[in-house]
Amino acid sequence: MKIFINQVPFEGLSLEEEISPAELDLETEMIKFHSGLKIKAHVERAINALIVKLSMHAVLSACCSRCLEEFEWDLNKDVQLSYPFDNSITFVDLNPDIREEVMLDYPVKPLCSEKCKGLCVKCGKNKNEGGCNCGST
Ligand SMILES: [Zn+2]
Ligand SMILES: [Zn+2]
């Protein structure tokens, strides 16, 4: 998402864009996107800075670090950023900051649920699906 400074009126500007995860290199081994990254931005122009309020939304999936099942979650994040500018600059590119903000929200240890029981250490059965018969409790 690029914002051209001379296109921002003093009363502010609202923008919407859907960015493909590939364009921002957002997917990792653990994290996959099931939708584009939807961005809503409200841009205000101060005397020598742009103030950008961003709302980000995407549907993602990850592998649970306990039971190894894939699960989906909604990423929703609001941030406010500011971009100082002077006469040498005609636009600001938000993409590096958008990428960083999204990736900051990735869980270090994804869990399908706080209550996930994980796998049986003996037989490997997913304990969320009921007890196992291997004798371990
Ligand atoms: Zn799990
Ligand atoms: Zn077991």
> How many Cβ atoms sit within 10 Å of the Cβ of residue 39?
20
**Domain containing residue 63:** 2-129
pLDDT of residue 40: 98
| 32, β-bridge pairs | 61
Domain contains 135? no
Count of domains forming the chain: 1
pTM: 0.85
Per-residue pLDDT reduced to its tens digit, 44-64: 998 889 999 999 999 999 999
The number of the ligand nearest the C-alpha atom of 128 reads 1
In a domain, 134, yes or no: no
* Residue 115 Cα to ligand 2 middle (Å): 18
Ligand 2 is a single-atom ion; what residues have CB below 5 A from it?
A: 120, 122-123, 125, 132, 134, 136
| Pairing status of strand 2-4 against strand 91-93 | antiparallel
* Ligand with an atom nearest the CA of residue 64: 1
Nearest CA-CA partner of 15 in 38, 36, 50, 41: 41
